[in-house]
């Protein structure tokens, strides 16, 4: 590698002055082109990775409202028949909370993220991406053709495996690129929320059945694979050192196994070092856990119960609008890193918990007169969640050494999943309690 660089310098000295001055421009343009390809590539990876996860949450009310009957795929049902826990319940409740879909959509992800630090790094990146894409496609197909709530939940589990495996993989992969790609990845995940919720809302509102809506989204897994294998470039600089750059730079993209003599980079660090790094991450992990606990308790525990009868929107339509507006707030804030950096993310956690307390109080007291006030609160809720996510990972990337960054990014991504899982587990009994209230 050093010899080839020296050869280029000797050739440069023997060339004309005009060629010498123009020579650096080509590598510069090449680097700029690679930078934008990688930026766009990570944006699309973020979009595609979270798309199926978001769609399953947007479809949660439809999945649990009724079991599809054979042949009932040519139209959208006008709405579910309310199933009350008792005849005097004040809420229009499904027999099972939408938190059940949330748990099916997050627990496999939680398991993947817990196990990832133990050995997922031994599997090259390319097979991981292939599995993620296949599971994403399988989730759409299984839910679309399901005639049973439980088979639909199995499809949701596939979406969770796809999203969890993809997030661990792609956040670890950012360690091989410029720190700027974290902003693009986060923006893409926010875009997945907005486009996923909006596309499901728009297509069903336009009269397309849930089955056909889901099948129309099968292009997303294909775009995921194309973005990874065709759009991303091999990293120009590898944190493992110049001597190994030619081989190591290709490893994330083509799955070449690293030789045993690698230096201590990324995952190849001692358990004591990993524990030390993890303890240092707790100041960012704990606030992000709280943010996601509060917002997903709202989304999957309270959205279904925030039902307004003084509007033209049906109950399923109100639920879809809540999901779409929440994702709009997430997208805006996850794309805001270039404008605003927030280091004290615990402030966002506090504000999100206040959101939860306010909306829970409204469930009991019914003091909000209009659904449009809830719409504004939901956008604000999404903005806080997205800001917490993008700033947490940006702060970790900036403050972590090259040696530990790959491990730190993968370890910290447990935060949102843990918070979501805890909220889903608590939302189920709370749903049952509230739906029994007279």
pLDDT tens by residue, 98-120: 677 778 888 898 888 888 777 77
Mean pLDDT over 24-28 rounds to 56
In this structure, of 44-48, 275-279, 434-438, the range with the lowest mean pLDDT score is 434-438
Give the pLDDT confidence score for residue 86 in this predicted structure.
Answer: 44
pLDDT of 290 over the 80 cut: yes
The structure's pTM equals: 0.69
Mean pLDDT over the full length of the chain: 79
Q: What's the pLDDT tens digit per position in 337-370? A: 778 888 889 999 999 999 999 999 999 888 999 9
Confidence band (pLDDT; 50, 70, 90) for 267?
low
Confidence band (pLDDT; 50, 70, 90) for 1?
very low
pLDDT of 398 over the 90 cut: no
Confidence band (pLDDT; 50, 70, 90) for 70?
very low
Give the pLDDT confidence score for residue 34 in this predicted structure.
Answer: 84
The rounded distance, in Å, linking the Cα atoms of 416 and 419 is: 5
Q: What is the CA radius of gyration of the chain?
A: 24
Q: What's the pLDDT tens digit per position in 178-219? A: 888 988 998 898 889 889 988 998 998 888 888 899 999 999
In this structure, of 29-43, 93-107, 178-192, 237-251, the range with the lowest mean pLDDT score is 237-251
């Amino acid at each position: 590698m050093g010899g080839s660089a020296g050869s280029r310098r000797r050739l440069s000295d023997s060339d004309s002055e005009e060629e010498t001055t123009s020579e650096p421009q080509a590598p510069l343009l090449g680097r700029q082109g690679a930078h934008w390809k990688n930026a766009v590539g990570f944006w699309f990876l973020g979009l595609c990775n979270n798309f199926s996860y978001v769609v399953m949450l947007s479809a949660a009310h439809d999945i649990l409202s009724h079991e599809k009957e054979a042949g009932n795929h040519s139209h959208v049902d006008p709405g579910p028949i309310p199933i009350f826990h008792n005849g005097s319940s004040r809420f229009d409740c499904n027999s099972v909370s939408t938190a059940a879909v949330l748990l099916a959509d997050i627990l496999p992800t939680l398991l993947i993220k817990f196990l990832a630090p133990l050995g997922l790094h031994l599997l090259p990146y390319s097979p991981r991406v292939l599995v993620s894409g296949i599971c994403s496609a399988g989730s759409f197909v299984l839910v679309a053709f399901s005639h049973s709530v439980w088979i639909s939940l199995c499809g949701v589990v596939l979406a969770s495996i796809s999203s969890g495996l993809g997030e661990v993989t792609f956040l670890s992969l950012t360690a091989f690129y410029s720190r700027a790609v974290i902003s693009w990845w986060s923006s893409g995940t926010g875009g997945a929320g907005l486009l996923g919720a909006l596309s499901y809302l728009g297509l069903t509102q336009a009269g397309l059945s849930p089955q056909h809506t889901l099948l129309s989204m099968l292009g997303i897994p294909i775009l995921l694979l194309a973005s990874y294998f065709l759009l991303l470039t091999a990293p120009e600089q590898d944190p493992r050192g110049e001597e190994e750059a030619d081989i190591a730079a290709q490893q994330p993209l083509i799955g070449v196994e690293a030789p045993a003599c690698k230096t201590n980079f990324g995952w190849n660090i001692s358990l004591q070092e990993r524990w030390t790094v993890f303890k240092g991450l707790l100041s960012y992990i704990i606030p992000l856990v709280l943010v996601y606990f509060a917002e997903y308790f709202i989304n999957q525990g309270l959205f279904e119960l925030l039902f307004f009868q003084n509007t033209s929107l049906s109950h399923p339509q109100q639920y879809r609008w809540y999901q779409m507006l929440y994702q709009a707030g997430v997208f805006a804030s996850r794309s805001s890193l270039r404008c605003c950096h927030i280091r004290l993310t615990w402030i966002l956690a506090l504000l999100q918990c206040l959101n939860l307390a306010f909306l829970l109080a409204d469930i009991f007291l019914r003091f909000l007169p209009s659904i449009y006030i809830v719409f504004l609160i939901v956008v604000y809720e999404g903005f806080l969640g997205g800001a917490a996510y993008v700033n947490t990972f940006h702060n970790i990337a900036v403050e972590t050494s090259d040696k530990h960054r790959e491990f730190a990014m993968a370890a910290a991504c447990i935060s949102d999943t843990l918070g979501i899982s805890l909220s889903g587990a608590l939302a189920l009994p709370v749903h049952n309690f509230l739906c029994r209230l007279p």
